[in-house]
Amino acid sequence: SLVRPLSFMPLHFSLSMSLHQIVEGLWGKEKREEGAKVEYLVRGWQDEDLYPNTSCKRLRALDSASIAATTKEQAPILAALDSVLEPVVGAPLRIDSSPRASGVLDTVLVCRAHGIKLPKELEDPKTLRLLEGAICHEWFDGYKNLEFRKLAMGRLLSSLRQTLEAKANDPLEKVEKTRLAVYSCHDTSIAGILNALDAFDSRWPPFTSHVAVELFRSASPPSILSAFLPSVLRPSQPHYVRLRFNARNLRLPACAPEGKHLPGSNGEVCTFEAFKDAVR
């Protein structure tokens, strides 16, 4: 492996390194020098749900069937690139070729991100768009199947729903004190979330992509009459959820109907109930 000779990784890797970087980024030098203390929790490995459970036989079967169908459907589309790409990669490029189409695209994206010069054939926007489209079909067409969605992203979205519910039901933070949760995941997990919520734009997520899930509570003051009610009978303030992908607001189809989103939000701020239904 070239990892150690090229010093890509430190000799002694700390699992808290990324956490340290997050704290440094969110709390500036002045705050840290003032002695700001940050309470944090780190999830255990046994709670992993960011990546689809590849041990699930049914999920593997659905995934294999989807990839097989995509391989056949995309073959003639990729064949149109043979005269351009075969001299560069050494063989006709297909979903299941060697090298695989996904591997070539991944290499191209890495090189472009780091300013490494590529053959001009791999810089052509039309060529890359066809290649990217075929690979997005390979990886994400399975999400057209509701069962596949639930098996692939159901655990993560269910966990997210439970976390948001706990926060919404505990406004005084007597038990649920979490204010920020950071999940570090693979780009296929980001695209998986978008696919599961019908918000995928059929483009491979670029480097440093992120999905933000924001929970809001209505600022509307309670009525005068509610002040005289016992706390258990007082109407709770409505909550809303907004999703952002790479700092861009998303419009979820599940939140588009009237009554499913905050009035005036153009469908971009879901009612909490609509969001829970979308991820259930």
Q: Within a domain: residue 72?
A: yes
> How far apart (Å, rounded) are the C-alpha atoms in residues 94 and 72?
10
Tens-level pLDDT at each residue, the chain (280 residues): 566 776 767 777 777 788 888 888 888 888 888 887 888 888 887 888 998 988 999 999 999 999 999 999 999 999 999 999 999 999 999 999 999 999 999 999 999 989 999 999 999 999 999 999 999 999 999 999 999 999 999 999 999 999 999 999 998 899 988 899 998 888 999 999 999 999 999 999 998 999 999 999 988 655 555 555 555 554 568 999 999 999 999 999 999 999 999 999 999 999 999 999 999 8
Residues 133 and 169 in one domain: no
Collapsing DSSP to helix, strand or coil, 62 comes out as helix
- Which tokens go with 210? 């992120």
Residues 153 and 263 in one domain: yes
Q: Within a domain: residue 22?
A: no
Last residue of a domain, one of 101, 120, 142: 142
Residues 115 and 150 in one domain: no
Q: Within a domain: residue 73?
A: yes
Residues 79 and 99 in one domain: yes
Write b or e for each residue in 195-233: b if 16 or more Cβ atoms lie within 10 A of its Cβ, otherwise e. bbbebbeeebbeeeeebebebeeeeeeeeeeeeeeeeee
- Which tokens go with 239? 């909550």
Residues 133 and 160 in one domain: no
Last residue of a domain, one of 108, 142, 176: 142
> How far apart (Å, rounded) are the C-alpha atoms in residues 240 and 263?
11
Q: Within a domain: residue 48?
A: no
Last residue of a domain, one of 87, 120, 142: 142
pTM, entire model: 0.85
Q: Within a domain: residue 23?
A: no
Residues 103 and 213 in one domain: no
Residues 163 and 120 in one domain: no
Residues 96 and 111 in one domain: yes
For residue 173, give its domain range. Answer: 145-220+235-279
**Which residues share a beta bridge with 240?**
216, 271
Residues 186 and 242 in one domain: yes
What DSSP line would sit under 243-274, residue for residue? EEETTEE---GGG-STTSB-TTSTT-EEEHHH
Residues 128 and 158 in one domain: no
Residues 122 and 245 in one domain: no
**Domain count of the fold of the chain:** 2
What pLDDT is stored for residue 1 in this prediction?
A: 55
